[in-house]
Amino acid sequence: MERIEKADMEKNRKYWNPIVETLSRERLMEIELKRFRETLRWAKEGSPFYRKKLHGIEPERVEMDPSMAESQNKEMKNRIREKLKIKTNLTFQVEFVKPGGLPRYSLKSARFKDMTRR
């Protein structure tokens, strides 16, 4: 009986990790920047390859630009859309959904040309 109650409680939780998932955007970016700098420092200190690649870059001076996230999302959407088109020969509308949100589906179909037939 106790196991079922715990399982039900787990299903009804809104967040997997409430502390991290409810942080403000600014605080989350601070944490990401700190971890990114730590990763850069670790890579430079531990790997001759990355020491050479990252020559002249000081991890403490690295800053993150919030506007980069938007352009990276567009690039990723385009890459996903292109890969789906190559694999399926269909065009998809790709959209990212915020955590806790649900994607919207459009049930409209579109005609496409069968490229395998000549």
| pLDDT single digits (tens) 56-94 | 888 888 887 766 667 777 888 888 888 888 888 877 777
Position 18 scores a pLDDT of 82
Assigned token pair, 14: 């809104």
**pLDDT above 80 (res 45):** yes
Assigned token pair, 55: 């020559």
Q: How many domains does the chain have?
A: 2
Co-location of 95 and 117 in the same domain? yes
Domain boundary among 49, 64, 79: 64
Q: How far apart (Å, rounded) are the C-alpha atoms in residues 93 and 80?
A: 10
Which of 12-16, 39-43, 65-69, 114-118 is predicted with the least confidence, judged by mean pLDDT?
Answer: 114-118
Q: How far apart (Å, rounded) are the C-alpha atoms in residues 55 and 88?
A: 43
**pLDDT above 70 (res 48):** yes
Co-location of 13 and 49 in the same domain? yes
**pLDDT above 90 (res 41):** yes
Assigned token pair, 80: 């996903």
Co-location of 91 and 114 in the same domain? yes
Co-location of 56 and 7 in the same domain? yes
3-state secondary structure 20-61: HHCCCHHHHHHHHHHHHHHHHHHHHHHCHHHHHHCCCCCHHH
Position 42 scores a pLDDT of 93
Domain extent at residue 51:
2-64
pLDDT band at 114 (very low <50, low <70, confident <90, very high): low
Co-location of 51 and 98 in the same domain? no
Position 1 scores a pLDDT of 44
Co-location of 38 and 88 in the same domain? no
Position 38 scores a pLDDT of 93
- The backbone torsions φ and ψ at residue 77, rounded to the nearest 5 degrees and listed phi first, read -60, -45
User: Which amino acid appears at position 58 of this protein?
Assistant: E
